[in-house]
């Protein structure tokens, strides 16, 4: 028998993941407050429900990709009230503290639980190239792995304890945020001094300065001026703050990342929060009076 899947949260990331599962032939029971978000899935045969509890009454495995810990905690209570759900997979990035509350809520009703945040953005989800992180007991990892394989290219089993995958995701995003901040700042310096942005990036990418910002984000979203990599600046700031909260809980000093967080927070305060996270460079460009844009890009 085909296992019926539930999916909660059809935002940028959730919709991309759910598309992969639906394309693989899995019957989907879905809930999202947005009619616009659910309409394409219903058109392809998914069943829309009026609540997370209704999804959990119809699906044996329920996935969630939600915007923050408060929403995840609230939704977990609705899922725990469902009668069909046997396994709950939290794909949101919410940090260890909120994750543990979600875990306790569903475990109290005998529902197996997997901590499975993802990395790679909506474009990576649609192309099936996501990195999937999973922390759960071995028997639960065995249940969810076939579905993760339909969504991502690389799966890391972080450990048996939910929360470990959250920590790893936040370690990644702290490095990501710092890479972007330092690369953007240095590239603006070069642009102000008259260096060609395309050549700067080409040199960095075969030199010791290469990082994820210079390899992908700058070429794809900054040089062409599209600023469409796929996640909002506010979302990145949320993850940086969650990472710093993990550091506080573990008594780990984070001198560099505190400064990185200040930079991202300032950009949000200047109104860049809803924009793509690559828009962080716009603030630095404004300060310097120079732009990091391709000089060779022409009209499509």
What whole-number distance in Å separates Cα of residue 276 and Cα of residue 34? 21
Residue positions annotated with a catalytic role: 169
Max distance between CA atoms of the chain, in angstroms, equals: 64
CA 141, chain centre distance (Å): 20
């Amino acid at each position: 028998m085909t296992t019926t899947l539930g999916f909660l949260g059809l935002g940028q990331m959730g919709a991309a993941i759910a598309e992969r599962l639906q394309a693989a032939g899995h019957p989907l029971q879905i809930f999202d407050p947005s009619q616009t978000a659910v309409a394409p899935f219903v058109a392809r045969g998914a069943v829309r429900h009026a609540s997370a509890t209704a999804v959990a009454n119809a699906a044996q495995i329920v996935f969630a990709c939600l915007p923050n810990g408060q929403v995840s905690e609230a939704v977990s209570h609705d899922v725990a009230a469902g009668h069909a759900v046997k396994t709950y997979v939290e794909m949101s990035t919410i940090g260890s503290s909120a994750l543990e509350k979600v875990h306790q809520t569903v475990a109290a009703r005998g529902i197996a639980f997997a901590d499975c945040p993802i990395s790679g953005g909506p474009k990576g989800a649609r192309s099936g190239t996501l990195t999937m992180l999973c922390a759960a007991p071995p028997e639960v990892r065995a249940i969810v792995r076939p579905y993760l394989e339909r969504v991502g290219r690389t799966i890391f089993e972080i450990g048996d304890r939910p929360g470990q995958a959250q920590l790893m995701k936040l370690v990644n995003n702290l490095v990501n945020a710092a890479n972007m901040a330092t690369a953007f700042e240095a590239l603006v310096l070069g642009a102000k001094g008259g260096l060609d942005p395309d050549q700067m990036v080409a040199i960095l990418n075969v030199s010791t300065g290469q990082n994820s910002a210079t390899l992908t984000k700058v070429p794809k979203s900054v040089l062409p001026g599209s600023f469409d990599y796929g996640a909002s600046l506010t979302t990145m700031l949320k993850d940086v703050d969650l990472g710093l909260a993990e550091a506080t809980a573990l008594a780990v000093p984070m001198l560099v990342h505190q400064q990185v967080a200040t930079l991202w927070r300032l950009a949000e305060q200047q109104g860049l929060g809803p924009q793509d996270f690559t828009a962080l460079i716009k603030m630095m460009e404004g300060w310097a009076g120079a732009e990091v844009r391709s000089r060779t890009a022409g009209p499509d």
